[in-house]
Chain A
Amino acid sequence: MTAVRALATLLVIATAAVPSAAETVSITLPQDTITLPAGPGADVTQTQCAFCHSLDYITTQPRGPAAQWQGVVTKMLKVYGAPISEETARIIADYLAAHYAR
């Protein structure tokens, strides 16, 4: 973008309420609640995938070709470094293709 724009930030004149420097903010997150449907590979898929993320990362995906899941599992291994053996990865990809493809 090269066009000249007016400065959008404004110097704040009045000071808003300032939280104390001693403030500690804590939250508690809800737990995952999804159980994958039964079938060959369901247990290993549930436990291995859930180590890093909730299983709605699977269930909300569009139902594409079965091969899409091989790509997803490969990405989890090669890009995100999931410590999963090739054999386990194959079981997971097969399970996902059986249950979450069109």
Chain B
Amino acid sequence: MTAGDTDRPLSRRAMLWASAAAAAGGLLSPRWPAAFAAEADSLLAGRPLARFPEKTNLIVLTVRPPQLETPAAYFDRAITPNDAFFVRYHIFPIPTSVDLARWRLAIKGEVDRPLALSMDELRTKFPKVSVTAVNQCSGNSRGRFAPRVLGGQWADGAMGNAVWSGVRLVDLLKAAGARSTGVDVTFDGLDRPAFPQVPDFVKSLALSRIMNDPDVLVAYEMNGARLPMLNGFPARLIVPGWFGVYWVKNLSEITVLSAPYDGYWMKTAYRIPDTPCGCVEPGGAPKATVPITSMPVRSFIAAPASGSRVGVGRDIALKGIAFDGGYGIREVLVSDDGGEVWRRAALGADLGPYSFREWSATWKARSAGTVRLMVRAINAIGQSQGTTPLWNPAGYLRNVVEHVDLVVG
């Protein structure tokens, strides 16, 4: 792919789309690819880096709807910068302009007092709370599945951690007078299907789950600033500990239903095998499935980067992050001998049970050649990571022990 490709004549259909989009908001001439992603990771070789609006250079998985991956170098720290935070949409068109004077968050359905809240009302009528939490795509690292599976071929950058500030969802539902007859609550954003037949992206949570979890927020700030458009401006749902698919962006409607929600994105998509591991034999098919929910333990080495050259006998600083679905990380271990001996890493500041936990260690290479460094985390209830990857047909829940390969000498 080269920048010159953009000069080719557009086909008729593409022209129609481009015209519609231009009419809707105008189009810039593209400024990408600026460079290419890390060759050390064969999955990313040749994948373009591009600067989307309000974003720094991110690894492009898809352009429309956008799916952008955070480069591995950002995972040496607990907080992911807003401009480096990954992007994942499901349908197109997505919102490209939001006027806060007109935007409202509707809370409706099985409620005594339907609400249509402005941003000012969200900010002034409800207590402002913050939670530091990891947002990770269900299919993060799907590209590493063996056998390979269809779907977004993410490496490991479909995750990030931020301080999310806004209001408690339970406060909104109480203000609206959610009825005890409510069963599920659906969340819809401003993204819309290209055709009426395309299932709108809507997710649901059980009302009982929300009313008992004060950590679920409607956030209007990310790391102290407004949300970038591509991360959900002006507000998004925050479901700490659960995969990002529930964290509906550009949120506009919350609806309390008196019956279970059975829309496509709950009933058919984003489901895992109904087995204790959420997995089946590689290449197999599940007998029954359930919706994906909370995140298993994961940990990564961000520095040195895989493929780096390091000296023999020198002190090398190892850095990375670990996280889980909300119990918190108790221990991070590093091995340079294939997992025979594991050394304990130092943990960074505890930013809460839903956050990335920074870790660091000092390591010396004993001899020239190549070496594989492995990392493994254990959470507060003793859950950890296996050395054999789990497999399921949708490519979800990867949490195998990860590694970097270094060249010594």
- A residues with a Cβ closer than 8 A to B are 1, 3, 5-12, 15-35, 43, 46-48, 50-54, 56-57, 60-62, 64, 68, 72, 79-83
B240 contacts A by Cβ under 8 Å: yes
Interface residues of B (CB under 8 A from A): 1, 3, 5-6, 8, 11-14, 16-18, 21, 25-32, 47, 50, 52-54, 60-66, 92, 94, 96-101, 118-120, 123, 127-133, 143, 148-150, 152-153, 165, 168, 194-199, 214-215, 217, 221, 224, 226, 229-230, 233-234, 240-241, 264, 268, 294, 325-327, 352-354, 381
Considering the chains assembled together, what is the distance between the CA atoms of A81 and B326 in angstroms?
38
Q: Write 17 A-B pairs (CB below 8 A) sorted by A numbering.
A: A7-B214, A9-B215, A10-B129, A16-B224, A26-B229, A27-B53, A28-B28, A29-B53, A29-B63, A33-B63, A47-B13, A52-B92, A52-B194, A54-B64, A60-B61, A62-B150, A64-B150
A-B contact count (CB 8 A): 187
The answer on a CB contact under 8 Å between A11 and B127 is yes
Q: Which of B3, B8, B65, B92 contacts A35 (CB 8 A)?
A: B8
With a CB–CB cut-off of 8 A, which chain A residues contact B27?
28-29, 31
Which applies to chain B's interface (DSSP): helix, strand, loop or mixed? loop
Complex formed: what's the CA distance from A79 to B354 in Å? 34
- 10 new A-B contacts, CB < 8 A, other than A27-B53, A46-B13, are A5-B326, A8-B131, A16-B165, A19-B100, A24-B98, A28-B25, A33-B32, A50-B14, A54-B62, A68-B150
The reply to whether B97 and A24 form a contact with Cβ atoms under 8 Å apart is yes
| Residue of chain B at shortest CB distance from A3 | B381
Query: Which of B14, B54, B98, B264 makes the CB contact (< 8 A) with A79?
Result: B264
